[in-house]
Amino acid sequence: MADGPATVYFLSDFGTDDEFAGVVRAVLQRMAGGVAVVDLTHGIPPYDVAAGAAALVRAVPYLGSGVVLAVVDPGVGGARRGVAIEIAGQPPGCPLAMVGPDNGLLLPACQERGGIARAVTLDRSRIAPSTIAPSTIAPSTIAPSTAPCGACHAPPAGATFDGRDLFAPAAAMLCCGADLVSLGDEIPVAGLTSLPPPPETSWLDGVLDTHVAWVDRFGNVELATGMPPGGSGRWHLVRGDVEVPVVEVRAFADLGSGELGLLVDSCAKLALVLDQDSAAEALSLRTGDSVRLVSEPVGTKSTQ
């Protein structure tokens, strides 16, 4: 990685009620003392690989050099591979890598950031503190251990916590200067697992058909598209036989009380919003739901 303190960008579905995220952070600190850990989120819904992938896509344009450690892993202990990926096209001295399960979680963010230069499948026999050169890490920071995580005093455990036992050690090794291919055998980029493609978005004759990509904690409903060209600025949300008027605005504060708005959000996507209220609850929308918006000439009456 780049000179100076390394950074790990950590995302998971671990939540914060249990010790899981904290233990992974402890492994990182023990194996790569001085590493900075940025918690992107641990609030991904349990097992929701697609939600984790979408969160990484939203975050990755703002990350500096370092290692993305992402763990949303319903297949832990099964046949799915663990992988480490080197991102292509990064500025000199600012490399970025990703570590996590090969279940579709990492690939969209890799493509968003610049594509993939190399990828390896993680080899557990190579993921251990003894593989880190003494010159890159103080001996006192790693205690001798035969634990799978290679960074603690605990005895070998079961196969249900690869975030601690495989992915965190691999990320730490990269932070300490290990080359990607020291972690496992190189694999074809085309062989990495992709998520199923999302439903298509269409814009034809003033009708936008798309779907809900994300509902944030405020209840804002992000759609899977940006602003289409040629809209009138006033819209109808069509739901069955009901048409709800929607006002195109720049910011939440431009809306009146209870007025449904359509704006371009911080990720350059369209979002259905209310001012200081949940549009998702008001409209009974959730991730994956279909949405139809019709652009109407100014002055067209709306029915509710």
Domain borders along the chain are 7-191, 202-295
Please give the CATH topology (third level) of the domain spanning 7-191: Rossmann fold (3.40.50)
Measured between alpha carbons, how far is 155 from 138 in angstroms, rounded to an integer? 23
**Model pTM?**
0.84
Confidence at residue 290, expressed as pLDDT on a 0 to 100 scale: 96
Measured between alpha carbons, how far is 100 from 85 in angstroms, rounded to an integer? 9
Q: Where are the alpha helices (DSSP H) in 84-151?
A: 107-113
Candidates 96, 116, 81, 101; CA nearest to 38 is 96
Dihedral (C-alpha) 271, 275, 276, 278: value to the nearest 10 degrees? Answer: -50
Q: Which residues contact 12 (CB under 8 A, 6 or more apart)?
A: 20, 21, 24, 41, 42, 44, 52, 70, 71, 72, 163
Measured between alpha carbons, how far is 35 from 11 in angstroms, rounded to an integer? 16
Phi-psi domain of 170 (left: phi exceeds 0; alpha: psi -120 through 50; beta: other): alpha
Phi-psi domain of 66 (left: phi exceeds 0; alpha: psi -120 through 50; beta: other): left
User: Which residue carries 């932070």 as its tokens?
Assistant: 175
- Range in 2-16, 112-126, 136-150, 243-257 with the lowest mean pLDDT: 136-150
* pLDDT of 53 above 90: yes
Of the chain, the percentage scoring pLDDT greater than 90 comes to 77
What separation in angstroms does the CA of 92 have from each of 2, 40, 88, 115, 203? 9, 24, 11, 16, 40
Confidence at residue 5, expressed as pLDDT on a 0 to 100 scale: 59
Q: Class of 202-295 per CATH? A: mainly beta
pLDDT tens readout for residues 158-175: 889 999 999 999 999 999
pLDDT tens readout for residues 226-249: 999 877 778 999 988 899 999 999
Find the length of the chain: 304
Highest average pLDDT, of 124-128, 132-136, 141-145, 184-188, comes from 184-188
Amino acid at 139: P
Confidence at residue 132, expressed as pLDDT on a 0 to 100 scale: 40
Measured between alpha carbons, how far is 294 from 296 in angstroms, rounded to an integer? 6
Radius of gyration of the chain (CA): 23
Measured between alpha carbons, how far is 296 from 259 in angstroms, rounded to an integer? 17
Does residue 221 contact residue 279 with C-beta atoms inside 8 Å?
A: yes
